A and B are shown apart, each in its own frame.
Chain A
Amino acid sequence: MSDPILSVRDLERRYGSFVGCTDISFDLWPGEVIAIVGESGSGKTTLLNCISARMERSSGTVRYRMRDGRFPDLAELGEAERRFLMRTDWGFVHQNPADGLRMRVSAGANVGERLMAVGQRHYGNIRRTAGDWLERVEIAANRIDDKPVTFSGGMRQRLQIARNLVTHPRLIFMDEPTGGLDVSVQARVLDLLRALVADLGLSVVIVTHDLAVARLLSQRMIVMKGGRIVEQGLTDRVLDDPHHPYTQLLVASIPEN
């Protein structure tokens, strides 16, 4: 029985009297995908930002299991260590790929940046590694020197994924990774994510309003409303046998095909 890789307890984020999210507790185990589902304003993005150290929390703890076995609260880490973690052990996939890429720098440089940031100094090796990852996310090798401004939305998103994975992170945060894409393009990106998560044994926290994405990618699911968790459990159980009124409303709102 392994230990959780991420532990959240009693997390709260307030803006004055307004509650962004509150009373949030859950664990994430290695190799597991957990979906945080809810509509706009549910607090899911606030929660994601708090647990990924992008935003300060008002109270509660967020513990991360480091590679060396330590299990500190993120707030205990120095800023340098936290930023290093965010560049190596973690990934963050933004909804808008432009937020997670350097748009005016080549695809190869985008993917290689993290390697250069951790001290790699051999151009040939960096380029080769970048090329391998581009192939893995199904971007043609001859686009390695092209800038993301010339890429389609789906390509940019796949590039963002490659950029995040190059340092073999253990934990990935995703904020509506297919939110801005056409449906047919979404399918490709989702399939890619599914395969990569399985192949690399990644732990993932994915925020989405799309229940189909949650069903496809996650084993466990958290439903949020008004800043609180209203239901959580096995994804297929929550979707097939929803208990909370809000969950039932969400599930009933999907048109059957």
Chain B
Amino acid sequence: MTAFERDAPLLQVDGVAKSFTMHLRGGLTLPVVANVAFTLHPGECVVLGGPSGVGKSSILRMVYGNYAVDAGRILVRDRKQGAMRDLATGDPRAVLELRRDSIGYVSQFLRAVPRVSALDVVAEPLVARGIARDAAAERAAWMLTRLNLPEALFGLPPATFSGGEKQRVNIARGFITDHPVLLLDEPTASLDATNRDVVVAMIREKLDAGTAILGIFHDAPVRDAVATRIVDVSAFSAREAA
């Protein structure tokens, strides 16, 4: 048993299968993964590895409830209730509750909403959890500064930012709360070396604080810097060989 396994798991994936049925292509069914199983403990960073297209992103999205699950269970420890809850049932309210308090997600690209300033985008998860706007804005500003976003951009909507700037807003938003489980999908893909290092430091801090991280990192140095272990998704692949 590893040191991490002494603590109760925060995420447990069990027998998960997923396929896509493309009705616009005559009902063609594309199996993606089957029998996906792994567990996450506090302080662990588990990296989903494997070649492009094997299903890493799909697994991440299923864990967040963004993709439906054909079979299996995805148990997330509910931060408020303490018990494990199965997110794979697809019950919208359960998923929303878990997303609010227990499991966070940093996507690869920021989905920019018109008219909302970068600062408000980052502060929103705190405001949604009842924190006063001022305090949330202050914390958001601190995060953005740490990620080297110029203060002049704080009040602007991110729609016109560069890819790297948008991603830093995205990361700040994802890291600002204290969700016990964090899902990261290629967080450093559009960042330069300096900011990559900042993100690595932020990931380490989260891990030290007991957060469990499940991530996809194509960037080898970053992966090496943060990964506790790598789960090879090819083992779960349901695809026939190309």
Interface residues of A (CB under 8 A from B): 29, 187-188, 190-191, 194, 198, 216, 219-220, 233-234, 236-237, 240-241, 243-245, 248-249, 252
Contacts and interface: CB of A to CB of B under 8 A. Distances in A.
B58 to A, nearest CB: 9
Contact of B90 (A187, A198, A233): A233
Contact of B66 (A29, A216, A241): A241
A191 B116 contact: yes
Nearest to A241: B67
Contacts of B6: none
Contacts of A188: 115
Contacts of A240: 61, 66-67
B128 A234 contact: no
Given A191-B116, A219-B92, A220-B92, A237 B24 contact: no
A245 B67 contact: no
Nearest to A219: B96
Contact of B115 (A187, A233, A234, A249): A187
B187 interface: no
A240 B21 CA distance: 13
Contact of B24 (A191, A216, A219, A252): A252
A243 B29 CA distance: 11
29 contacts: A187-B114, A187-B115, A188-B115, A190-B114, A191-B113, A191-B116, A198-B127, A198-B128, A219-B92, A220-B92, A233-B68, A233-B90, A233-B92, A234-B66, A234-B90, A234-B95, A237-B65, A237-B67, A237-B92, A240-B67, A241-B20, A241-B61, A241-B67, A243-B68, A244-B23, A245-B23, A245-B24, A249-B23, A249-B24
Contacts of B90: 233-234, 237
Interface residues of B, number: 21
Given A191-B114, A237-B65, A252-B24, 14 more contacts: A29-B93, A191-B113, A191-B116, A198-B128, A220-B92, A234-B92, A234-B95, A234-B96, A237-B90, A240-B66, A240-B67, A241-B66, A241-B68, A248-B22
Interface in B19-45: 20-24
Contacts of B128: 198
Of A188, A216, A237, A252, which is in contact with the most chain B CB atoms at under 10 Å from its CB?
A237
A238 to B, nearest CB: 9
Contacts of B68: 233, 237, 241, 243
- State the main secondary structure of chain A at its contact with B: helix
Contacts of A245: 23-24
Interface string B60-98: 010001111000000000000000000000101101100
A248 B25 CA distance: 10
B187 to A, nearest CB: 19
B72 to A, nearest CB: 15
Contact of A216 (B20, B22, B23, B113): B113
A233 B61 CA distance: 15
Contacts of A237: 65-68, 90, 92, 95
Interface in B142-179: none
A68 to B, nearest CB: 24
A244 B22 CA distance: 9
Contacts of A219: 92, 96
Nearest to B18: A241
Contacts of A233: 68, 90, 92
B24 A234 contact: no
Nearest to B92: A234
A236 B92 contact: no
Contacts of A243: 21, 68
Contacts of B114: 187, 190-191
A191 B112 CA distance: 12
A210 to B, nearest CB: 14
A236 B66 contact: yes
Contacts of A252: 24
